[in-house]
Structure 1
Amino acid sequence: MSISRHYVLAAGGTGGHLIPAFALGQELLHRGHHVALITDERGAKIPGAPEKMATHILPAGRITKSPASWLPGVKAIAEGRLMARRLYDSFEPSAVIGFGGYPAFPALLGAFAENVPTIIHEQNAVLGRVNRFTARQVNAIATAYPDILRLSPRYQDKVHLVGNPVREEVLALRDQPYPPMSADGIFRVLVTGGSQGATILSEVVPDGLARLPLNLRRRLQVTQQCRAEDIETVRQAYAAHEIPAELATYLPDLPDRMGWSHLVIARAGASTIAELTCAGRPAILVPLPSATDNHQSYNVKEMVQAGGARAIAQTQFTPVELAKQIQKIALEPGALENAAKAAKSCGRPQAVSDLADLVESFGKAPIMHTIKPKHDTASAFAPSPALAKDTAL
């Protein structure tokens, strides 16, 4: 018999932090638990949150190298910590799970103060700043890669390799075969720069595809996600090269697109790589050089070493180099299929289930009643009507 508990997930306002949080939230809801999310205003706008997961917005102080950020940053963190403690007093979480990003910091500090068990999940191959700050005090550290930079060896006894949770629609692709590709069949290429798009892909990919040999170029069918400010320029470039391309600023059916693609050209965000390896799709990856601690350059290593992807540094990402790398993988018989198998070998499809098992292994006594009425938290810590999808937890 399953026992219902309350859990709080805390994640920063980017898709990279929130997508795995949403996946875990959905899994915990499926298991009969109650789940709340702590994030910031940006995070509250990211689509994909489970309908029955209440969303709470906390101040997320950001302390940078500039002294001007120190005082307001500390004040915001202290305010967020107090608000989190008030929520925990009424919600009585069995555990708080942090997924990185600044909004997770005050949520975890509040959990430490209330002696609530804590777990952090690191999506990237480099331990993020908030996770580094809290690693010593948390009960468990869940990782997406076997080797994590900036993770102190003294914490190894509480590290659990689970992988990076992905959407159910992506998990379903794992049971589908790699799309067949004959010598003269359509060659489907998917180009995506993540939730925000990537201008460098818009600038390089059309011209790179145009440099492919004629017999390969004529077989192309491209789907590309672009920034709004880039899309018309990209459309004109493909038209000039006579390459059929479908362009959009957002691809709500991205898992379906990935399912029929033969090759993906993308950034190297943790969620992107997790989806590629779960689905088993070969890729050419261009790490974002400005990513914190250059973590995208480390994210690609496992997939590249297995043979499932090729990585091109942005400084070397030119139309000529892109065309050269595509030819190496697309013109050699069986190379794409072998790369797809190699990518799939890196996938961890049980990530969300394993993470949920880990979460359930920590925690206070089962919750046997609903929210206590002893505090009026509605005025101190209430989600807006538009964001609180299920306030009667």
Structure 2
Amino acid sequence: MSRHFVLAAGGTGGHMVPAAALAAELTRRGHRVALVSDARGVRFPGLFEDIQTHVLPAGRFAGGPIGWAKATREMWRGRAMARELYRTFRPAAVIGFGGYPAMPALLAAFADKIPTAIHEQNAVLGRVNRLVAGKVDAIATSYDKTERLAAKHAAKTHLIGNPVRDAVLTLRTKAYPLLEEDGIFRVLVTGGSQGASILSEVVPDGLAMLPVTFRRRLQVTHQARVEDIDAVRAKYAEHQIPAELATYLPDLPEQLAWAHLVIARAGASTLAELTAAGRPAILVPLPSATDDHQTANAREITLAGGARTIAQKDFTAVELAKQMQKLGLDPAALQNAAGRARSCGRPDAASDLADLVESLDAPRVKLPVGRAKPVLAGAGA
């Protein structure tokens, strides 16, 4: 039976990518999906082009008493607009993916007694998900151990994994790219959807410190911030290392397909894609991430032997060169690390999350009729 589902997510890649993967799976099953997010989320390139989208106001609780008061007003205004949306769209369930833009949609669902679930991408339960965990009907996690998740919620917690795009999932069926001792060694450098200046500062100089026979084999694709890209390009040119630079990688699955090693932050989507594809990595967790969740994210793949984690304070050109040599000069060891990374993947995450979402459907709650159709900022098909 075709049903309607609302997905609510903050506007960063970590929230939007799994929401998009679930949207694709639910659509394949014949359901209709609407996205609620902020202005960044509804414009996220390549993810929700065929999905009905809505922007709702959602304040961020920061800035002292005045900031909190303003955020509360925005949240309740967003909640009222979400309830208007539900009167016409009539969702079978509302699923939150974290981030403050998800909160109004969930508050509206609680008010209208619509079944709800949240999905946590990180190994630490996020702030918004912590706030609503007691009221939702189901909690989907991406890691076997999720910090800040109360033991009293165990009965409604389901280990699902973090859904990834189909284009990444197909890499799981392909072999790790052949690496010959004197062949090209392809390195992918990515700081996630927002880039990472520390990678731009350290990686070119670290690669330049490799033995000349190794350095000459390198071929690099490097995602850099707009403000860093010219300086990074100049560094690679100075070191005579072939490198392609971009501020955004729309073809990330294709880049992953040929990468022998990835140097990256440890965001939830990055880890999900590395483990889905089976690619070894050197990870540099973002130290300012809330509750240090990127360090927690990196723990599973690192303990499995699929990655090496370097704290940002220790991430120097010398340390990077040392770790690169340990990994890159032994093709068999690198391929073994790829297999260990793959072993941490949960390739059925999108399907399992869709199963969970469908199971939430309850007899339709009768909502008042005759109200005007909502007019939401940014609404569109």
- Give me the TM-score of the superposition, normalised by structure 1: 0.94
> Contact conserved, 1:123 with 1:143, CA < 8 A, in 2?
yes
CA distance in 2, matches of 1:15, 1:333: 32
Partner Cα separation in structure 1 for residue 23 and residue 127 of structure 2: 23
Alignment of 1:382 with 2:380, yes or no, is no
The one-letter amino acid paired with 1:67 is: P
| Aligned positions of 1:22-37 closer than 5 A | 22-37=20-35
Asked if structure 1 preserves the Cα contact closer than 8 Å seen for 2:10 and 2:98, the reply is yes
Q: What stretches of structure 2 of length at least 5 have no aligned partner? A: none
Aligned length: 380
**Which stretch of the first structure deviates more once superposed, 336-345 or 209-218?**
209-218
**Distance in 2 (alpha carbons) for counterparts of 1:55 and 1:248:** 28
The match for 1:5 among 3, 6, 18 is 3
Letter in 1 for 2:13: G
1:64-79 correspondence runs (5 A): 64=62, 66-79=64-77
Is the Cα contact below 8 Å between 2:56 and 2:376 reproduced in 1? Answer: no
Shift of 1:8: 0.4
- CA distance in 1 between partners of 2:108 and 2:249 (Å): 37
> Matched residues in 1 for 2:68 and 2:299: separation?
35
The letter of the residue matching 1:270 is: A
Name the amino acid aligned to 2:258: W
Distance 2:150 2:201 in 1: 40
Letter of the 2:279 counterpart: R
Partner of 1:81: 79
1:192 CA drift (Å): 0.6
Q: How far did 1:376 drift? A: 1.6
2: distance between equivalents of 1:51 and 1:68? 37
Matches within 5 A, 1:43-54: 43-54=41-52
Is the 8 Å Cα contact of residues 91 and 372 (structure 1) preserved in structure 2?
no
Which of 152, 155, 162 is residue 154 of structure 1 equivalent to?
152
What are the ranges of 5 or more consecutive residues in structure 1 without an aligned counterpart? none
Quote the residue 1:320 is aligned against. Answer: 318
Q: Which amino acid aligns with 2:267?
A: G
Whether the 8 Å contact between 1:19 and 1:48 is mirrored in structure 2 is: no
Kindly state the Cα deviation for residue 85 of structure 1 after the two structures are TM-superposed: 1.1
The structural deviation recorded for 1:70 is: 1.4
Matched ranges for 1:216-295 at <5 A? 216-295=214-293
Deviation of 1:65 after TM superposition, in Å, equals 5.6
- Three-state SS of the structure 2 residue aligned to 1:59 is coil
Q: Counterpart of 2:125 in 1: which secondary structure?
A: coil
Q: How far apart are the structure 1 equivalents of 2:103 and 2:350?
A: 22
- Give CA deviations for 1:54-77 in whole Å, capped at 9, x if unaligned: 111100111126222111011011
Instruction: Report the AA paired with residue 215 of structure 2.
Output: R
C-alpha offsets along residues 113-140 of structure 1, whole Å, 9 cap, x if unaligned? 0000000000000000000000001000
Aligned-partner residue type, residue 380 of structure 2: A
The alpha-carbon deviation at position 366 of structure 1 amounts to 7.3
* Superposed displacement of residue 42, structure 1: 1.8
Match of 2:327 among 326, 329, 332: 329
Q: Which residue of 2 aligns with 1:356?
A: 354
Q: Is residue 106 from structure 1 mapped to residue 107 from structure 2 by the alignment? A: no
Change (3 A) 1:19 1:333: closer
Q: 1:160-171 residue pairs with structure 2 within 5 A?
A: 160-171=158-169
Q: Which runs of 4+ in 1 moved over 6 A?
A: none
CA distance in 2, matches of 1:366, 1:105: 22
Counterpart residue identity of residue 374, structure 1: G
* Residues in 2 aligned to 1:121 and 1:252: alpha-carbon distance in whole angstroms: 24
Shift of 1:217: 0.6
The reply to whether residue 60 of structure 1 matches residue 58 of structure 2 is: yes
Task: Pick one of 15, 19, 39 that aligns with 1:41.
Answer: 39
Task: Report what 1:132 is aligned to.
Answer: 130
Partners in 2 of 1:89 and 1:345 — Cα distance? 44
The 2-side partners of 1:333 and 1:268 are apart by 24
State the match for 2:186 in structure 1. 188
Q: What's the C-alpha RMSD, in Å, of the aligned pairs?
A: 1.5
SS at match of 1:19: helix
TM-score (norm 2): 0.97
